[in-house]
Structure 1
Amino acid sequence: MKMPLSPQWLFLSAAMLAMPLAASAQTAPAQFFKQPPGTDYYLANYTEYEAYLKKLAGESDRMKLVDIGKTAEGRTQWVAIVSTPANLARLEEYRAIAEKLARARGLDDVAAQRLAAEGKAIVWIDAGMHATETVTSQGQIQVLHRMLTQTDPETMRMLEDCIILFGHDNPDGMELVSNWYMRHADPKKREFSTLPRLYQKYVGHDNNRDSYMAQMPETENVNRVLFRQWYPQIVYNQHQTGPEGMVVFVPPFRDPFNFNYDPIVMTQLNEIGSSMHSRLIAEGKAGSGMRSAARYSTWHNGMERSVAYFHNSIGLLTEIIGGPTPTTIPLVPATQLPRGDELMPIGPREWKLQDTLDYQWTLNRAVLDYASRNRERLLFNIYRMGANSIAKGSKDSWTITPSKVERLANAAPLKVDGSDEYERPRAGGPKKVDPALYASVLQAPEDRDARAYVISADQRDMPTAITFLNALIKAGVEVERATAGFTAGGKSYPAGSYIVRTAQAYRPHVLDMFEPQDHPNDIPFPGGAPTPPYDVAGYTLAYQMGVGFDRVLDGFDGSFTPVADLMTPPAGRIEGSGNAGWLIGHETNNSFILTNRLLKAGLKPAWLKAATMAGSTSLAPGAIWVPASPAAQAIITTAVRELGLVAHAAATAPAGEVVKLKPVRVGLVDRYGGLMTAGWTRWVLEQFEFPFEVVYPQRVEAGGLQRNFDVLLFSDGAMPGKGAWGNDRPARQPSPEDTPADLKATTGNLSDAKTLPALTDFLRNGGSVVAIGGSARLAELFHAPLTHALSRTENGETRGLDTKAFFIPGSILRAQVDNRQPLAYGLPAEIDIFFNRSPSFTPTAGQGTATPVSWFQGRDLLRSGWAVGQEQLAGTIAVADIDVGRGKLFVMGPEVVQRAQSYGTFKFLFNALQYGGAER
């Protein structure tokens, strides 16, 4: 299915093609900026960078400047398209070729070879994603000017064979970091280690964990370019800093790699990486490392360079040292002996910013040289991978996973008579099993890959399912909608259901979003500690979001139409004709938006504590009751249409106990420099229209919190960790005399000695505290009747369990829920919950009463990812409601809003905020 271009892109394309071609760029960076980018102790900011891009676009016939959207703070995100004037005049033609080959639909090898011969290699090279990694943005300025002005044969060949998309991932961050660094007149005082807030408005460093979800505007903009407009064969994502005692990490990467994507990705990735190392070494630039030189792998889908693999593009990551303040390469003995992963070591030496930029220039040139020399092969291979995906999704196929291989390895060894030398076991050699087991274990009929995933229109929470589908669409996945009822896999589905087929070019991404990740047991030797994955091990998005779907193993037909672009939830409705008020189910996350709008208007909704009937519809505990009024009528009429809700008009008010809601004053605890967990939470609260105020340590410890707040929210890490609760690393802060006046109230760190009295007073006066992840240590500080279940005490010191005994590094587990409890209203009886080295609890003697709300039952909990010692969680409590004085302490060990992805467990937090502020 061809994805349509946005009107903005079509307009810009037409405008660019109509622009007169100017002369080659003449303005060098040294002539434009206050100091030449690359000068020690100097950083250009984004305002200056943007102005320079516009200057070059007006001077050069090798460059077109394209606006790809706005950032979180409203800046324009630009892409500079660089190639020959002749290629730029035919941009749409080359873009269309790239799209046809990447989608692979309706092509055969002959047609693909013809298009590959006609097309140009599309290469994305970006900068600035992590804004404190300043060298990438400063280096891009130099690279752009050189590519626009040099006339050597190699440059001209690169321009002729390639269309280069020079992007910037984080304009807001570049502006913040550069301005903070340059705020001092004395160069020796310049630093950016004391930044006052996150360098992406909401998520800081985690902007490179948003690629499959694309909830940040910058990520959505980049994904649109990569997977819905330009389809580059190479995606080069530049970072820093490099390994200790070295200069730069360059692919290839260490294992494991994700088994969903096409192996051609890996072979070409290794080729390009080797070319990059070779060019550095040929130019005498020592200090590059690969594979074991760093932790980077290709497992996780959430990063810009890694999401490329699931789209048949070659994702490159480099991590390089340097910065505007000169430094020294330390002497690390382990890096001094040449080896396969570090071919040309570097000794200790002074290192300046321009040294880094010179390496970046070489690396950029190596990538472009490879793309130029392998243009046709790159274009054909992206087609080949797409065609492979379509073919696999059109027939019975199997994905071999570590669990299946483990079952195969546990089978009885092959019995041989010794007549066949290939069957004879060799001393110390690998185990051999009966070849017949290949089919019975690795290709069991019930283990076939799905032909399609069906998301039925009768979801518990259809608006959340639409958000999930939109995430797929943002990543270029083809989605269809049923215009009539149909049958698939022996089950009937209503019109309005959605189908995601695996017979499409981006099949690897589809599988990765619906299927569980099966991370291998990466343990270096028997009895050794697990090797941590790079980032997380299990993240299946459909599981995290609580989306109901069916795996369909055989082909099926029906009346389906392609979804052209991002969707809004299907319009809801008002059922019934009663005039006493309305009942709304609690199952839809969007119901909290409605409740917040009602509370904002001064109305008084309530939650019914018992199940009830609304006409012929049974509503579970927690149904929202809204008494009739003209104001409520107006809000509900609009909300059901916009938010996809069903409101039941009731003739009489329901009987029974209710939780009376009132406007809630939420304080979100953060700290100087910004916590990413608080930033993600802030974004979620804004999307669901919760009113809140960010609270810093000085205000918390000043006490009298009940004057301003009903609920205080501590995200993971907001409360300093100790022992089994993690190790706190306070943010660096400027000295008092160096802190701007408007930031002084944000400085400081929470301490047990001062925080506990303030919170104790708050709880005793009826306030509520929500503590997530490591911040659930507050239960221990309040002597609540719960204890950390995953800890041990030795010599009077409490620590977390050894990783050889318990290790769940970012995975999805199955948990039980008591959805009769207000904290769990609207949730099913079983949920998938994200667990990342999280605490869990066991009952103990203590103060107050703790009510379990969610817990782990049984020994087989893993749904997606990797779990060592998961049986240690059996019977432990994940979420609890604790009475403390007149107040409430809600503890949630798992990160229920992790990276704003786990929509399926948002209700724990949302309920806590509204219930925490309810009338007692």
Structure 2
Amino acid sequence: MKKAFFTMAMLFSLLGMMAQNGSFTKPADFFGFEPGSDRNLFSYEQLIEYFQKLDAESDRIYLEEIGSSPEGRPMYIAFISSAENITRLEELKKINRELALNPNLGKNELQTMIRDGKAFVLATLSMHASEVAPAQAAPLIAWDFATTNDPKKEEWLNNVVYMLVPHNPDGMNMIVENYLKYKGTKYEGASLPAVYHKYVGHDNNRDFVILSQEDTKAIARIYNQTWFPQVMVEKHQMGSTGTRYFVPPNHDPIAENVPAGIFHWGGVFGQHMATDMTAEGLAGVSQHYIFDDYWPGSTETCIWKNVIGFLTEAASVQTASPIYIEPTELRVGGKGLSEYKKSINMLLPWEGGWWRLGDIVQYELSSTTSI
């Protein structure tokens, strides 16, 4: 009798999980293709429409407008966490503010806030619009966390509020429109014959020093004035023929007026990503290579605000078109890696071959769950 009861309970539990997953719109069903598939891209408006749909379907996602782009497109931040944390966002926001700005908290009050608060992790996606993969991976990340029944992931959602911001709406549309216009022609994957930000082009990350642009201000407000996340990661892409992915720690030199703990914790996150991604067989993950922490630009100005800030960089394709890289084309140079071979800063070299947008998306999904 007990065995029959247990079997029925398990059956109803499985049916409940199936019903829950079935009630959410899958990215492939919404966009008409799997995000990350060859030669397919969605626009900024389509991405936001999908977030809005998940917001309506799931109690684990909340979408909030934060400002506007230079061309007037509304900008949003997507909060992803447990249903309980989503209902507590305003309370958690106040806790973050107190922890960030109030130096007079008593020991007991401090411990209470640490106990009752949650870790907030902010990710900015595709700041440089030609680096399309982080934004294209976003629906898969959101859907995974909205539907998961994995106890480990549910524990993460209970303890963390993950915040996603598509960084450059105008540039995203420029790149997508240009790519789709020439898809299937000899110009497929060619560079945009213009800059992908109305006023500052590729230098939109440098604008975090002076905050002259509305989109830059909107994102800076998140970690300076409103939400005060404890961790912030910038998602980028780099050249095609070097390592496949970069995670912290960065190389010297560093900004010596930043507390040591900020760099230490960046290294902790980076080592965790490198360990997890390499264990999953994702080759070519590098650390302590090329990128330093000296210049006070990009969203990493957050490290002067006591926010753990770092970037990831993925090897690029031709926008969304796959490329083939011969083993003899693989090369590195400069700080941290003098030869393309197994080393302490790249323990599992990638051996060459086809490299696709879907590969980058896979690396993005892995690094996100590791964070």
Q: Taking structure 1 as the reference length, what is the TM-score of the superposition?
A: 0.36
Residue type matched to 1:310 in 2?
Answer: W
Q: Kindly report the root-mean-square deviation, in angstroms, between the aligned alpha carbons of the 2 structures.
A: 1.7
Aligned equivalent of 1:254: 251
Aligned to 1:232: 229
Q: Distance in 2 between matches of 1:221 and 1:65?
A: 15
Aligned-partner Cα distance in 2 for 1:219–1:337:
39
Q: Quick one: which of 354, 360, 363 aligns to 1:359?
A: 363
Conserved in 1, the CA contact under 8 Å of 2:183 and 2:189?
no
Aligned-partner SS, 1:182? helix
Q: Is the 8 A contact 1:212 1:307 kept in 2?
A: yes
Partner residue in 2 for 1:308: 302
Structure 2 match to 1:180: 178
Would you say 1:100 and 2:98 are equivalent positions? yes
- Where does residue 194 of structure 2 map in the other structure? 197
Q: 1:300 to 1:59 in 2, by over 3 A?
A: same
Q: CA deviation at 1:117?
A: 1.1
Distance 2:224 2:325 in 1: 39
Change (3 A) 1:328 1:245: farther
Q: CA deviation at 1:227?
A: 1.3
**1:108 deviation in Å?**
3.3
- Which residue among 349, 356, 360 is the counterpart of 1:345? 349
Inter-partner Cα distance in structure 1 for 2:208 and 2:225 = 14
Code of the residue aligned with 2:353 in structure 1: it is: R
Rounded Cα–Cα distance in structure 1 between residues aligned with 2:54 and 2:309: 28
Instruction: Indicate yes or no: 2:207 matched with 1:210.
Output: yes
Aligned length: 341
Alpha-carbon contact 2:245-2:314 (below 8 Å) kept: yes
Compared CA separation, residues 336 and 299, structure 1 to 2 (3 A): closer
SS at structure 1 position matched to 2:208: coil
Alignment of 1:290 with 2:284, yes or no, is no
Q: 1:262 to 1:110 in 2, by over 3 A?
A: farther
Residue deviations 1:626-661, cap 9 Å, x none?
A: xxxxxxxxxxxxxxxxxxxxxxxxxxxxxxxxxxxx
The residue number in structure 1 matching 2:322 is 326
* Matched-pair contact (CA < 8 Å) for 2:242–2:315: no
Task: Answer yes or no: is the 8 Å Cα contact 2:63–2:76 preserved in 1.
Answer: yes
The structure whose residues are more often helix, as a share, is 2
Contact between 2:77 and 2:164, CA under 8 Å: does it hold in 1? yes
In the other structure, the counterpart of 1:125 is 123
- Of 84, 91, 109, the match for 2:89: 91
Alignment gaps of 5+ in structure 2? 1-19, 332-337
Instruction: Judge which range, 322-331 or 131-140, deviates more.
Output: 322-331
SS in structure 1 opposite 2:181?
coil
Q: Secondary structure at the match of 2:364?
A: helix
Q: Which runs of 5+ in 1 are unaligned?
A: 1-22, 368-920
CA contact (8 A) 2:39 2:183 kept: no
Q: Percent identity?
A: 31
C-alpha deviation, 1:192, in angstroms:
4.2
Deviation at 1:278, TM superposition (A): 0.4
- State the alpha-carbon separation in 2 of the partners of residues 70 and 245 from structure 1: 35
Q: CA deviation at 1:185?
A: 5.4
State the shift of 1:189 in Å. Answer: 4.3
On the 8 A contact 1:336/1:347 being kept in 2, the answer is no
State the alpha-carbon separation in 2 of the partners of residues 287 and 228 from structure 1: 38
- CA shift, 1:110, in A, is 3.4
What's the CA shift string for 1:237-293, capped at 9, x where partnerless? 1000157332011111011111111111011111111001000111111101111x3
Alignment of 1:724-743 (within 5 A): none
Aligned residue type for 1:308 = C
1:678-724 deviation digits (Å, cap 9, x = unpaired): xxxxxxxxxxxxxxxxxxxxxxxxxxxxxxxxxxxxxxxxxxxxxxx
Structure 2 counterpart of 1:232, which letter? P
Mapping of 1:170-569 within 5 angstroms? Answer: 170-184=168-182, 186=184, 189-193=187-191, 195-241=192-238, 244-291=241-288, 293-294=289-290, 296-304=291-299, 306-323=300-317, 324-331=320-327, 332=330, 335-367=339-371
Quick check: 2:236–2:311 contact (8 Å CA) kept in 1?
A: yes
- Structure 1 letter corresponding to 2:162: I
Residues 325-381 of structure 1, C-alpha deviation per residue, up to 9 Å, x if partnerless?
1013442366543211111111111111111111111100111xxxxxxxxxxxxxx
**1:49 Cα deviation from its structure 2 partner:** 1.1
Q: Distance in 1 between matches of 2:103 and 2:166?
A: 31
Question: With CA pairs under 8 Å and 6+ residues apart, which has the higher RCO, 1 or 2?
Answer: 2
The Cα of 1:190 is off from its aligned counterpart by: 2.3
Quote the residue 1:113 is aligned against: 111
SS state of the match for residue 292, structure 2?
A: coil
Match of 1:406 in 2: none
